[in-house]
A and B are shown apart, each in its own frame.
Chain A
Amino acid sequence: MADHTTTAGHGAPHGSHGDEGDSRRDFLVLSTLTVGAVGAGLAAWPFIDTMNPSKDVLALASTEVDLSPISEGQSITVIWRGKPVFIRKRTPGEIAEAKKSLGGDKDPQADDKRTKKPEWLVVVGICTHLGCIPLGQRTGDPKGDYNGWFCPCHGSMYDTSGRIRVGPAPRNLDVPPYEFTGDTAIRIG
């Protein structure tokens, strides 16, 4: 509050408060200010919370995918939380290739840490470098030297487990949280 005592001359100087009933007034001032501050804090929350994801957005936070139409060696792209997710039913050759090593030096990781069932690879289709969408989903796309995905922006190459092998990308393609809700059905998110 104000650091001054310049009320001299006014009809009602502050001074008279100081003499008697000082402690009671201080208590009253303090409790009123506390209650007011609590109220202002609580009142701010609804305003802030309106900017958090709303119920209709949260309702789309998980995506259910039926895998049964996907045949071996085929990939599909589904949208999950506004991002593309690559789902690939890998061939035995691709699985063997993926299990052979831990991938590149940058982000070594075992293939079974990246999959729940060996034939199904589920990764977020966003290059970990600067966010481009790698090629390799459609037949005829360049798949890079490791037969996985190739990012056209800066030449990053991913293997059949979605691990980074060559190029500027720092990390493997992210694996989104997902679970199998049936033999050939998953829920992402």
Chain B
Amino acid sequence: MKTTLFAALIAGALAFPAVTNASEGPKLPAQKWSFDGPTGHFDRAQMKRGWQVFKSVCAACHSAHQLYYRNLVELGFSEAEAKQIAAGDNVPAGPNEAGETHVDGQPIMRPAQPSDKIAPPYANPAAARAANNGALPPDLSLITKARKGGADYVHAILTGYKEPPAGFQLQAGMNYNEYFAGHQIAMPAPLVEGAITFEDGTNATVDQMAKDVSAFLTWAAEPELEERKRMGIKILAFLLVFTALLFALKRRIWSDVH
């Protein structure tokens, strides 16, 4: 017993530094998410709303490079709907028979297909900077994994726009955000109450939109989450039985060692 305790202690202690890496910045308000916990899952209605927010607000400046239109089927859209959404965007068609990719300086485009990646708002990072006062809107497909706090962080940023406190030196073109490192963020507050009308009739408050799009972005970053947790529970249950059997067998085999 004593030894097991020590083992746990040392394993924990060795892993300790990983957890306590200096966490700077203000504490993020923790939200309740359907995907939290060992039985977490995505709320399909929320996913669809989140996609609507992403598509009509975020996607104007941010790409979601890792996502394909076909992935929308996992959100609860039908294949036909995914195809229709894809067809609404244009992607570069590639060289035509004459070997041209551009005509009159404009790229030759074709409607996107489900097998295409979701079309980015800008052709390249330089174009993105040029259109945003030199700031580069980050790709959002992994944003909840790429920031400490995940969905809580995205939600906090989206709802964290405030008047700067007295005496705060805000640089030109920057915006004050309570939860952004250094509090100066190039992105102006993107969500305005009622800016979009949710198809399912949900009231589009800033908080609601921020929650929905954060949930959507969590799915975008971890589309395997549901399968992972479902599988994990089964496998751990199986292992628990197996380990118990091994423990019984071990006790029995060792019973004659003196």
Q: A-side interface residues toward B, CB under 8 Å?
A: 11-12, 16-17, 21, 25, 28-29, 31-32, 35-36, 39, 55-56, 59-60, 64
Contacts and interface: CB of A to CB of B under 8 A. Distances in A.
Nearest to A59: B115
B56 to A, nearest CB: 25
Contacts of B115: 56, 59-60
Contact of A29 (B68, B242, B249): B249
- 7 pairs of A and B residues whose beta carbons are closest in the complex: A59-B115, A32-B245, A12-B257, A16-B256, A35-B242, A12-B256, A32-B249
Contacts of A56: 68, 115
Contacts of B245: 28, 31-32, 35
Contacts, number: 37
A142 B148 CA distance: 65
Nearest to B239: A39
B52 interface: no
B241 A12 contact: no
Interface residues of B, number: 18
A116 to B, nearest CB: 22
A116 B105 CA distance: 42
A55 B115 CA distance: 10
B interface majority secondary structure = helix
Contacts of B252: 21, 25, 28
B242 A36 contact: yes
B62 interface: no
Contacts of A36: 242
B257 A32 contact: no
Contacts of A64: 113
12 contacts: A11-B258, A16-B256, A21-B252, A28-B249, A35-B238, A35-B242, A39-B238, A55-B70, A59-B68, A59-B114, A59-B115, A60-B115
